[in-house]
Amino acid sequence: MGVRIPQMVASQKIITAINEQIGNEFSAMLQYYAIGAYFAAQALPELSAHFDVQAEEEKGHALRFIARSTGAFRSR
């Protein structure tokens, strides 16, 4: 038998706030990719790369929120 991990019950207000933050993180990711694409089109590869890194960071934030809120982090 496996060990049962008790689940925390969150209020709807908290769940709504977390979902909103996930959306904010993905929105920021898309904005950074757009800025990076602009700089790539302007032949500024260093600036483009910087914003691509920032985009990946925002994506990581969103994915961590998702993993934590769905319980996926328990299996890692």
**Sign for the pseudo-dihedral over CA of 36, 40, 44, 46:** positive
Per-residue pLDDT of the chain (76 residues; tens, 9 = 90+): 555 555 666 788 988 999 999 999 999 999 999 999 999 999 999 999 999 999 999 999 999 999 988 876 554 4
Q: For residues 59 and 69, give the distance between their C-alpha atoms in angstroms, rounded to a whole number.
A: 15
Q: What letter does residue 43 receive in the DSSP assignment?
A: T
pTM for this predicted structure:
0.78
CA angle 53, 54, 55 (to 5 degrees): 90
Backbone phi, psi, residue 13, to 5°: -65, -40
Token pair of 45, please? 């590869």
Residue 26 confidence (pLDDT):
98
